[in-house]
């Protein structure tokens, strides 16, 4: 059985103290309210990572992740943070390929393939994001776009490496817009992604891959989305900044 995951993406929000107090609310609620085998992941800015990992000790249903790493192992890259550094504070995951990184920082599939290798080499599990823009959907290119993102971004990984990945389908037009994909639209793409994985690796690998949905996911729409056979959880932006909302989404899998 593949893992059910609800991951929060704090993006560039919350100062150090705000982040710690939100996380402390989250861990307490997880302890009191989560009865299933799902995992909650919080992806914070680098600043919070070390403290969050310390606070998560003893809570096996809460894990911590970063939102980016540099593609190189180390060196003269002023202002950057390496995978090894992220791993050294005990973080488990890293979001890669988020559409905001693709759009505002020019990250393309080729660069993301290198970042993915670097993350895996250092023992981090990538949450690898893919998804089409509104223009691409309107031009009915969404399947092609996703096929290319998979092929160029992650399909050259070995089976063993690929098995460490979590994928996240995030239609760019649904991120932070309040416009969610319908559960049918999301399921259609998730099933397509799983089929592509089966074609490139095997049915077994496809069946074991956790595929999250992201884009204006909230406590109201999560139950219907997560009830779809190929949707294994969510990548949550805005709603992950409120402990009650985030927990209610995690609790869908109770």
Interface positions with ligand PGA (CB under 6 A):
9, 170, 175-176, 214-217, 235-239
Smallest gap, in angstroms, from Cβ of residue 244 to ligand PGA?
15
Smallest gap, in angstroms, from Cβ of residue 70 to ligand PGA?
21
Rounded CA-CA distance 227/234 in Å is: 12
Indicate the residue among 201 and 212 with the shorter CB distance to ligand PGA: 212
Tokens of 75: 């060196």
Cβ 43 vs Cβ 66: under 8 Å? yes
Question: Of 100, 107, 132, 170, which residue is the catalytic one?
Answer: 170
Rounded CA-CA distance 248/6 in Å is: 10
Indicate the residue among 45 and 198 with the shorter CB distance to ligand PGA: 45
Cβ 51 vs Cβ 107: under 8 Å? no
Positive or negative: CA dihedral 175, 128, 239, 68: negative
190 annotated active-site: no
Which H or E run contains 39? strand 39-43
Question: Of 48, 98, 142, 190, which residue is the catalytic one?
Answer: 98
Rounded CA-CA distance 57/167 in Å is: 25
Smallest gap, in angstroms, from Cβ of residue 174 to ligand PGA?
6
Smallest gap, in angstroms, from Cβ of residue 160 to ligand PGA?
27
Cβ 6 vs Cβ 236: under 8 Å? yes
Indicate the residue among 64 and 201 with the shorter CB distance to ligand PGA: 64
98 annotated active-site: yes
Smallest gap, in angstroms, from Cβ of residue 115 to ligand PGA?
17
Rounded CA-CA distance 96/70 in Å is: 10
Distance of CA 30 to the CA centre of its chain: 19
Cβ 226 vs Cβ 252: under 8 Å? yes
Indicate the residue among 68 and 201 with the shorter CB distance to ligand PGA: 68
Q: Which residue of the chain is nearest ligand PGA when measured via CB?
A: 237
Residues 6 or more apart whose Cβ sits within 8 Å of residue 147:
196
Indicate the residue among 113 and 168 with the shorter CB distance to ligand PGA: 168
Residues noted as catalytic: 98, 170
């Amino acid at each position: 059985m593949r893992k059910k995951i609800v991951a929060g993406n704090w993006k560039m929000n919350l100062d150090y103290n705000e982040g710690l107090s939100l996380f402390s609310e989250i861990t307490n609620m997880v302890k009191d309210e989560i009865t299933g085998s799902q995992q909650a992941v919080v992806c914070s800015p680098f600043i919070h990572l070390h403290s969050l990992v310390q606070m998560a000790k003893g809570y096996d249903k809460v894990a911590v992740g970063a939102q980016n790493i540099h593609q190189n192992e180390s060196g003269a890259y002023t202002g950057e943070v390496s995978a090894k550094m992220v791993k050294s504070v005990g973080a488990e995951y890293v979001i890669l390929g988020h559409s905001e990184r693709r759009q505002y920082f020019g990250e393309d599939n080729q660069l993301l393939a290198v970042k993915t290798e670097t993350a895996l080499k250092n023992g981090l599990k990538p949450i690898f994001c893919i998804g089409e823009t509104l223009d691409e959907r309107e031009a009915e290119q969404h399947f092609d776009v996703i096929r290319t993102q998979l092929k160029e971004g992650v399909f050259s990984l070995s089976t063993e490496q690929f098995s460490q990945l979590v994928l996240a389908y995030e239609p760019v037009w649904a991120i932070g817009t309040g416009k969610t994909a319908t559960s049918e639209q999301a399921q259609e793409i998730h099933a397509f992604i799983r089929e592509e994985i089966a074609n490139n690796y095997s049915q077994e690998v496809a069946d074991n891959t956790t595929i999250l949905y992201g884009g204006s996911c909230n406590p109201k729409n999560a139950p219907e989305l997560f009830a779809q056979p190929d949707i294994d959880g969510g990548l949550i932006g805005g709603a992950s900044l409120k402990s009650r909302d985030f927990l209610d989404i995690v609790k869908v899998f109770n």
